[in-house]
Every structure is written in C-alpha cells, then in structure tokens.
Amino acid sequence: MTTNTTVLEASDVTMRFGGLTAVRSVDLTVNSGEIVGLIGPNGAGKTTFFNCLTGLYVPTEGKVSYKGTVLPPKPHLVTSAGIARTFQNIRLFANMTVLENVLVGRHTRTKEGLWSALLRGPGFKKAEATSNEKAMELLEFIGLAHKADHLARNLPYGEQRKLEIARALASEPGLLLLDEPTAGMNPQETRATEELVFAIRDKGIAILVIEHDMRFIFNLCDRVAVLVQGEKLVEGTSEVVQADERVVAAYLGTPFEGAPGDEEVAEVEAAEAASATTSKEAPSTNTRTEDGQ
Ligand SMILES: Nc1ncnc2c1ncn2[C@@H]1O[C@H](COP(=O)(O)OP(=O)(O)OP(=O)(O)O)[C@@H](O)[C@H]1O
Ligand SMILES: [Mg+2]
C-alpha cells in the first residue's frame, strides 16, 4: 500500500515512579499503514507507556520521535505534532453535545485565535462553518451524526467510546493511540469497532492499540508487542505472539517450566484416555486454566 516510513519511534523508554519501574527500556516503532497492538496483563505498564508517548508523563529515560522529530513532552505539542489518543477511562465533556466534543478536538487545527473568536469576525465565522462541516463528516464516518446534538453524558457507553475516537480524529492525526477501545462493549459493538479501526487505517492513519480482548487484537493487528512487568517480552505477528509460550504463561500467571503441574496434566490425560475408551461422549476435562481472559 504505502511505503514503510516510520511514524512513531520510541527508544529505550523507561518510566519510574519512586521505587517502581512501570516501564523499562521499551523500544517500539509504528510504521505508516500499520495497526500495532500492545498487550499485557493488568498493571504491565501499557497505559503508562502511552502516557510517555503523549507527553502526559516525562519518561525517566528514553526518547520518543514522531516522523523523525523528537517530541517535546507536552500533551498539546504532541497533539499538534500529529498524535491523538483515547483514554482507558473515557474523558469526554459530559455536558457538551456530541458535536461540541468533536469541535473541541479540532481546536489544535484551527488557526483562528482568541480575538477572532471573541469578535466573531468574518474569519471566525468562516472557520466555524468549516469546523462544523468537518466535525459532522467525522460523526458521519463514526456513525454518530444522528446524535450530533445529544449531550455526551446521555450516550450509551459504547457510543461514548466511539465519540472519543471521533474527537481524537478531529485533531487530524497521523497516529492514533487507542487505550482499550472495546472495554465494556458487547460483541456486536466490538466487531463494529474492529471495522472502524480498519477504516481509520485505510484513511492513512497509523494505529497503536491497547486491548485485553485477544480476538480483537489478533484479528486486527499487523504486529503485536507484549509488555509484562514493564518490559517488552515478545513482539511479532499475531501468529508468532499467539504461539509464544512465554506470552501464555504471562497471562495465566503460571510458570511453564519446573512444571509442578506436570503430574496433574498426566492425570487428566490418563483420565481422558480412559474415558475415551469406555465412552463415546466427550470427557469432562479439567479446564480451569482455559477460562483466563
Ligand atoms: N502516576 C503513577 N504513580 C505511581 N504509580 C503508577 C502511576 N501510574 C501507573 N502506576 C503504576 O505503574 C504500573 C503500570 O500501570 P499501568 O496503568 O500502566 O498498567 P496497564 O498495563 O495499563 O494496566 P491495565 O491493563 O490494568 O490498564 C502499575 O503498577 C501502576 O500502579
Ligand atoms: Mg491501562
């Protein structure tokens, strides 16, 4: 599709909070046209890493570049450079309308200054009309145009997540960071979000997405990086990451080697084999390790 230019390059990013190292020497790149996933157990440092990328935190060590330029650790400068994000805990202006929330997201891209706005001169009116038009286009794209004048707080949860994405897109980013975009969504909403992320990528916006929903991640991502206790454990295609025993172990929280569970496994296998020879019915196996998210 496009040539592979590096959009985001984080090198050796470390974030310490007092004695706690939440992110340790993490390198990550996102190239144009890519959807990259960032996964890891709760508390692994995923959101902290996002905060380091977007200037919310000043990393203790390391460097973050966007399209070859080192980013200043100030959120508004990062946004105007071209990185937009959504938050794990939705941050909308609850008492503003859907349209107004998107307009707020656009303000980094409007040149009209404070005086122009206060005096409501012709320049401002023209800019306002253009902004409204662009915001409505975005709401159309995201599927919320029919609710443009609803208050954000009256939207169902899934639509609030969508609105956050629309607001992020309003700053016309080259890279979009999504922190758990499907949290709290039902399966249909999650599927729709998957399509939406593909559609955003097709607009030429690179994406880095944090999610706990593995099916969502593995369907969507060209590449997946796994953070465990602040460190990047594995990075690769969905196939490579899914097949990596260390990733499974990190999620299940059980060691793979040393195998105190070996005897148990052998017992279950023996029981399965026995019941398979005595009965045609599916044996009821011990699946207690299979229900982890
Ligand atoms: N501002 C902070 N001050 C101190 N410790 C923090 C701060 N922010 C995060 N941490 C700690 O850093 C670690 C990583 O947290 P983080 O929120 O980045 O994890 P996460 O991978 O996003 O987890 P989750 O999947 O639950 O969202 C945790 O131990 C957390 O308590
Ligand atoms: Mg998080």
Q: What is the structure's pLDDT at 281?
A: 42
Q: How far is the CA of 130 from the centre of ligand 2 (A)?
A: 35
Residue 25: strand, helix, or coil: strand
Which residue has its alpha carbon closest to ligand 1 atom 14?
45
Chain segment 159-213, per-residue pLDDT in tens: 999 999 999 999 999 999 999 999 989 999 999 999 999 999 999 999 999 999 9
Q: What is the CA radius of gyration of the chain?
A: 23
Sheet containing strand 206-210, edge to edge, reads 83-85, 175-179, 206-210, 35-39, 223-228, 231-236
Closest ligand to 212 CA?
1
Which residue has its alpha carbon closest to ligand 1 atom 25?
42
Q: CA quadruple 116, 119, 121, 127: dihedral positive or negative?
A: positive
Q: What is the structure's pLDDT at 107?
A: 76
Q: CA quadruple 259, 265, 267, 273: dihedral positive or negative?
A: negative
pLDDT along the chain (293 residues), means of 10: 81 96 98 97 96 96 96 91 94 93 81 61 76 93 96 94 96 96 92 96 98 94 96 95 89 53 63 62 38 35
Closest ligand to 227 CA?
1
- Determine the Cα–Cα distance for residues 147 and 30; give it in Å rounded to an integer: 34
Amino acid of residue 110: T
Q: How far is the CA of 251 from the centre of ligand 1 (A)?
A: 17
Q: How far is the CA of 44 from the centre of ligand 1 (A)?
A: 7
Q: What is the structure's pLDDT at 31?
A: 97
Domains, in order of start, for the chain = 1-82+173-257 (3.40.50.300)
What is the distance of C-alpha 46 from the center of its chain?
9
- Determine the Cα–Cα distance for residues 38 and 50; give it in Å rounded to an integer: 10
Q: What is the structure's pLDDT at 184?
A: 87
- Determine the Cα–Cα distance for residues 181 and 196; give it in Å rounded to an integer: 11
Q: What is the structure's pLDDT at 106?
A: 82
Q: What is the residue whose two structure tokens read 């996933």?
A: 37
Residues with CB under 6 A from ligand 1: 17, 20, 22, 40, 42-48, 88
- Pocket probe for ligand 1: among 17, 50, 217, the residue whose CB has the most ligand atoms within 8 Å is 17
Return the closest-CA partner of residue 12 out of 62, 50, 55: 62
Instruction: Count Cβ atoms below 10 Å from residue 151 Cβ, excluding itself.
Output: 16
